Amino acid sequence: NAGVTQTPKFQVLKTGQSMTLQCAQDMNHNSMYWYRQDPGMGLRLIYYSASEGTTDKGEVPNGYNVSRLNKREFSLRLESAAPSQTSVYFCASWSGKSNQPQHFGDGTRLSIL
């Protein structure tokens, strides 16, 4: 029972390099999310996708792009990585029912030098 799977788990980039973080869920959820986690700031929403074919900006979208490839997969792309994007990135999925929780992946730890 995989749930939400994120790849890679760790990555080190140089400033200016590009990178795509992958996320896949096997729970048939309509909604998927990308968050970043920074010390003392909790989780902040970068982008989300309420359903296949739709994406919307969250609280901190600058410097990122997303693709909802199909119902299962939601990728996050850094076109030109900056040191300020050093963070832990979490993908989550949700059934769409408010009384149900979001399910999270184990995260991608990204360092940009």
Full 3-state SS string of 42-57: EEEEEEEECCCCCCEE
32 touches 49 (CB < 8 A): yes
Pairwise CA distance, residues 66 & 91, whole Å: 12
Separation of first and last alpha carbons in the chain: 36
Question: Which listed range, 12-20, 36-44, 68-76, 79-87, lies at the site for other proteins (CB under 8 A)?
Answer: 36-44
Binding-site member from 34, 64, 74, 90 for other proteins (CB under 8 A)? 90
Task: Looking at residues 52 to 81 of the shown chain, list those that interact with other proteins (rule: CB under 8 A).
Answer: 58
Q: Does 34 bind other proteins (CB under 8 A)?
A: no
State the residues that interact with other proteins by CB under 8 A.
4, 31, 33, 40-45, 48, 50, 58, 90, 92, 94, 96, 98-99, 101-107, 109
